[in-house]
Each structure stands twice: as structure tokens, then as C-alpha cells.
Amino acid sequence: MHLKDLSSAATTVVGTSLPHESAALHVQGRAAYVDDIAEAAGTLHAALGLSPVAHGRLLSIDLAALRAMPGVVAVYSAADIPGYNNVGPIVHDDPILADREVHYLGQPVFAVIARSRDEARRAAARAKDVLQIEPLPAQLDLRAAHAAGQYVVPPMHLTRSTHPGGVAGAMAAAPHQRSGQFSLGGQEQFYLEGQISYALPQDDGGLKIHCSTQHPSEMQAMVAHALQLDANQVLVECRRMGGGFGGKESQSALFACVAALAAKKLNRPVKLRVDRDDDFLITGRRHGFEFDWQAGFDDSGKLLAVEVTMLGQAGHSADLSPPVLTRAICHLDNAYWLPDVAIHGFLPRTNTQSNTAFRGFGGPQGALVIELIIDQVARQLGLDPLVVRQANWYGQAGSGRDVTPYLQTVVDNIIAPLTDELVASSDYLARRAEVAAFNANSPWLKKGLALTPVKFGISFNVNHFNQAGALVHIYRDGSVLVNHGGTEMGQGLNTKVAQVVAYELGLPLARVRASATDTSKIANTSATAASTGADLNGKAALDAAQKLKKRLAEVAASHWQVAVDQVRFEGNAVLGPDGQHEAFAAIVEQAYVARVQLWSDGFYATPGLHWNRDTLTGRPFYYFAYGAAVSEVLLDRLTGEWRLLRADLLHDVGRSLNQAIDIGQVEGGFVQGMGWLTSEELVWHPQSGKLLTHAPSTYKIPTANDLPHAAGAFTTRLYESDNVEDSIHRSKAVGEPPLLLGFSVFLALRDAAAACGAPGCQPALSAPATPEALLRAVRSVN
């Protein structure tokens, strides 16, 4: 399937390459974000005073000194929160403002409210002078915390065995065994728009909050709990975010609550926009992991037994770490059938930022370790890693090789034909020989090549989050407004939902507009996360549009004296069976005059899901999305510097709703995954616990210059295959799964490092594969 010309006539609306609904606004700089909203008269600005130590007992705050600072109107601490001082979404262990004890360097302790943002920041920067904290021992090492048995939630264990002796018996009976450790770093979301909330008091005592958040309903609930308000007194609105990537799912709550607290107490509008450095220091990010693994396998590389211990770096509190670990466990298998497997998951508590959601939500961490195991098995046996991967693919339904470790049957497996297509289109086999020939004659520059697959489960781990609502309004002029519970963070969700409604009503996309996400319109929404945005909200909007379509069809059928099922909607018109024809707006006007309701709600809940949190078994995913990537790299063994020479991506999005948007998501996910595994390194000071990489000067995200420059060296294609499940127009989610395509870059770098040593060597390469890490890996095989 190839990208269609964006200028082509979009007669079907769904399935065509239409521009993002805000594309022109983005490139012209006219797209309005929270900080672009015109400030109401009397607006004040907030800043947060942060703990200067990683762990300690909070003895006092010199509030008088802060209040005497220029421009300061008020200063608030935990004692000023009238309700519940907590923003922990699962475990109530995460205070809005620290109370009695501080748990990480950067934790908010007080909030300064001032006439200007600069005055608020200057006062908040005095935290070190006004806070009296008795230092306590700080736990900064993940493995040490595990050894001490310090966890944010109890450990998780999943075992599935087909061997009479269990996993240990299968391991002992395997012809070959291998074991190892793997360190995998975290990743900063680095959304271009930082955390921000703007709270405005309403005349009835309520609050309206403009918040850059992926979860308006949770912000509403957290603010209501903190301020002892009913939820109906708090309205949260989000028109768009400048990126979220999971970092604004739960952790936007602290900022919303502080802005709301000040606005409520002062009865004045209050904006809280944190500096980028403070954003890094306050918020969490993708969980880093430590892995201990053991694998048993046969001469062909077929995995007979796998045992993995996962240590996820939760930080000081639980946040979303339990479901992140659950998803990591459920993605250990990736695209491979594991007959005997034992997975042990732990979330040690450390005195660092509480880590949270990030694109993939634990799935990438779990899947990467099995890819590393496959790579090590192949090198030990002297086989091409692709051959070993193919030997371990899941089989088709009913093959006996179709059940995951958590006992979900894989009924939609397309990994073999998808990778076969990529092997052919990327010339993988010929290039493998070319890479070997190059390396044999190049002592200092080494090439590496890798093909890696993706199998990613789509749905929230928590069953009741898999629901969505929508409202669709038809106005008398025939234009349509759609509102849904999802949030737009640049991924094109509003565009896709509008396409669904336009297609159902037979309208051009220009006649359908998506409005801001608003808790007063759609209540009790789920976060826009887990790649479910289009699946859930698209289906809910479709439900609403179908109800309206039926009402309008009844009006037209009555007018023409024909059967309702003979009425069609297309081309901005309503058509009858015998050439009858009316403009869509004309039928709408007839419906209005006939007092027919021209707005409707819609609702959708994903069917067939169930999950047992105690046994870690069930059907947590509605379907799987698949993909594969081939990457070729060039490594300088003397400096550790490297370049991506070529990347070929093939990804399964089912029946695409919008090919242009989907290809953009695939490419963006690949680059973000590559950045995580190569350049994005998080470093904490080993004694103080301060995050040292807290700005663009020290934390390096990938740029366009990191992609191949040669013509045809970066290709992305969509795999043509309908979703077997009844998803929206048989499409598949595309937000998170493509991030795993970046695995191919990391394993290509490992392949290049291996070329620096003897055949069968195993480079000790950790992630991210920075130049320093690559040099260590090269030295490990010399």
C-alpha cells in the first residue's frame, strides 16, 4: 500500500490521505495552545519550590521570607490544600505538595503565586534558603532497592509451562543454555509544549481549567478531590497539546491542582507553566529496566525455556508503574511462541522522580529483552538472527503455537508474510552478504544489519478504560460538529474522528469540525493512551453519526415515499432509489422543521476483553498490530560514532483511515524508538540524586539529521491487511506499535560491534547505545 497524493480528490473521506486538521495552523504558528489563550484581567502566575535533597524530613518552610519577595501575592504549602493532597492515580502515595517528608530532588514543596511569571520563579528559586530539611538516607540504585525488598507495589509473577518438569525442567533439558543481564535506560517524553494549566474561577464558585493533558476527566477528579468540590464544579478543557507521549496522562494533575488551588483561594485566574528544567526535575518518564535472563534452546535456535526477572524503575511512588509492568510482562513474547516461560516483575522504590506512561507503556521494554535473547542465541549458534526469529514465530490459530504466556490465543498472526515481504523489498539477504564483505575489508569502520519484528497488543490493561463517548451536532446549514473524549496531541485523532463522521454522513471533510475536548460535554472519559484513541472515539462518533443518519433517512424516505434502506448519503447529498436528490443541508432543514432531533450521543465499549490481575491471564488485548524494520548502520570502532545508512519500515495498520497520518506516525515512532535506544541518556548524580540531564544541552533527542540522507534510504510502507476484529473501518492503532521498529537500529549497532570481534562474540551493549556504550561494547569483544 503506497501513500496517495495528498491533492487527490477525497471522495471516500475514510482511507485517503487528508491533511491533519490543524496542519496549516501548525506551520503558520497560529495553532492555539494553553499559553496562547488570552489572559483574563487579573491573571496571576504560579511557580513551584522544589526540594533540594533526594530524601529528607521536612521541618519547616520560611513562608514569611517568600511572601516578602517582590510581586508575591501568596505562598501555599501542603497545609493549605483543603481536600486530599494526592495525585496518585492508582496508589494514593503521591502528594501534590510534599508533606512532612520529601522523596526526591525536585519534588514540589510549595507554590508561589505572583503578579508575573518571572517574579514567581525568582521567589520559588529560593527553595534552598527557605526549606529546613533533615537529610535521610536516599536509595538511588535500582538493584540495591530490589535487594532491600523496597517496592511500590507487590511483585508480579507469570509462569506458563508445557514441560512435565516445569520451566526449570525445560531449561535443564534444553541442548543449549545461555544467561545474561541487560541494562535499559529510561526516556524523557520531551513534549515541545511543557506542562501547563490555567485555572479561571467561575461566578458560581466553580473552576474552568485549560490544561495540557491526555486525561481531562482525571484532572477534573483530582482537582475536585483536592479542593473538596463536586466534579460538576470543575470543567477541564483541552483543545490540543504540543505533544504528550504519555507524560501528560497522569502527571499533568499536579500542575492542574496547584493552579486550581491558587485560583480558588484568591478568586483570580492563575496560570502555572513550568520551565523546561523544572519539568525534567519534577516529572517522571519512561521506566528504565534491569533484566536478568536465562534461555534454553535447541540447535536451530528454537526457544525451549525462558526465564526473565524484570526490575522496573518506578521511582518514589507507584503512579502508573503497575500497569506499565503488566504490559512489559505481556509483551515479553513479542512475535515469538514461548512454550515454557517464567517472568518475575518487580518495581523497586527509589528516591527519584516517579516514572509514568510513555509511548508503548512498558511494551517496548518487555519486547526488547526477548529480541536481545534471540540475537544472543543466534550468535552462539552461528546463525543469522533472522533465521532464529523465523524459527520462533507464533503459528496460525490452531497450530499449537498460538497461545501467549498470559493465555490469549493469537488469531490474527501475520508476522510471517509481513516479514517475508520486507525481506524481499529491502534486499535483506543480499545486503547481509554485502555487509559481511565490507566488514572483512574494513578494519576501523564496521557495518551492522538487523531485521526486527513487532507484535503489539491494543487495548487498555484495565478493562473498564476501554470505553468512549461522543456527541455529534448537525446544524441547519448542514455543517457538523463532533466532540469526543479523546485529546489531540498532534497524532491526528481529531482528523480521523472527523473523517469517520464525514464518511458516514456522506459529507466532505470540510463540513465536519472537531471541537475541544471538554469534561462538560463528554463525561467520565478514559485517557487518550494505549493507542486506543481512534479505535474508541472513532467508534463512539460512528455510533452517534449512525443515529443521526437514520433520523435523516426517515425524513427523506417519508418525503419521497420510499423505504428507509433505499436512502443513501454521499457527495454532500441525500439520494433516493429513483434518482431523487436533495442537498444534505436541505434534508437537514426539513428535519428541523419536522422537529427531528439533530444531535446525538454515541458510546462504544470494546467487546470480549477480560483480565485476571492475580494470575496475569486472560484476554487483555482486542487485537495485535504487527510490523517489522530493517536497519543498516555504520560504526566507527575508534570513536563510537555511528550513522544510520538505511531503514526500511513495513507496518500493519489494518485498513488505514488516513494513510498520510499513519505513515507519519510510523516514521515518528521509529525515530523516537531509535532515540531512546541510542542517544537519549538519563544521568543522576550518584550522591545527591539530582537529574543531571535536565535540559536540551545535556539530553539529546534525535533530529532529522540522524536519518539517512540518500535518496531511497528511508522507506516506509503500510502493510495491506484488514483487521480481523470489528475495529473502526477495520483499521488498527498506530500510535505506539511503531516505536518498537527502532529495535532494529539498536540490534544493527550490536551487529556492527560484534563485527569488531571473533565470530560468535557477544558484545556487552547496554541501552542507550551512546558512543561511550558502543566503545565499551567494542572493547568487550576485542
Catalytic residue numbers?
Answer: 736
778 Cβ neighbours under 8 A, 6+ residues apart: 637, 640, 753, 756, 757, 763
Query: Roughly what angle, to the nearest 10 degrees, separates helices 363-381 and 743-754?
Result: 30
What is the Cα–Cα distance from 562 to 554, expressed in whole angstroms?
Answer: 9
What is the Cα–Cα distance from 385 to 407, expressed in whole angstroms?
Answer: 27
User: Residue 406 corresponds to which cell in the numbers above?
Assistant: 498470559
What is the Cα–Cα distance from 393 to 302, expressed in whole angstroms?
Answer: 9
Query: Roughly what angle, to the nearest 10 degrees, separates helices 428-440 and 415-425?
Result: 60
Residues 566 and 576 sit within 8 Å (Cβ to Cβ): yes
Collapsing DSSP to helix, strand or coil, 497 comes out as helix
Report the alpha-carbon angle 77-83-84, nearest 5. 85
What is the Cα–Cα distance from 745 to 631, expressed in whole angstroms?
Answer: 5
Q: What are phi and psi of 333, to 5 degrees?
A: -70, -25
Closest CA to 359 of 668, 20, 718, 695: 668
DSSP state of 286: B
Question: In what order do the strands lie in the sheet containing 207-211?
Answer: 72-76, 108-114, 44-50, 270-273, 196-201, 207-211, 234-238, 517-518
For residue 505, the surrounding DSSP H or E stretch is helix 493-505
Phi-psi category of residue 336: left, alpha or beta, with phi > 0 → left and psi -120 to 50 → alpha: beta
- The CB density around residue 695, as the number of other CB atoms within 10 Å, is 13
Q: What residues form DSSP beta bridges with 211?
A: 197
- The CB density around residue 288, as the number of other CB atoms within 10 Å, is 20
Q: Residue 689 class from Cβ within 10 Å (0-12 exposed, 13-18 middle, 19+ buried)? A: buried
Residues 245 and 189 sit within 8 Å (Cβ to Cβ): yes
What is the Cα–Cα distance from 288 to 186, expressed in whole angstroms?
Answer: 4
72 Cβ neighbours under 8 A, 6+ residues apart: 66, 112, 113, 114, 119, 120, 123
What is the Cα–Cα distance from 537 to 466, expressed in whole angstroms?
Answer: 10
Q: Residue 612 class from Cβ within 10 Å (0-12 exposed, 13-18 middle, 19+ buried)? A: exposed
Closest CA to 290 of 322, 258, 261, 312: 312
What is the Cα–Cα distance from 744 to 545, expressed in whole angstroms?
Answer: 42
Residue for grid cell 534454553:
296
Alpha helix positions (H), 516-608 = 533-560, 584-593
Q: How far is CA 634 from CA 375, 453, 601, 631, 773, in A?
A: 19, 21, 55, 10, 15
Residue type, 1: M
Q: What are phi and psi of 649, to 5 degrees?
A: -115, 135
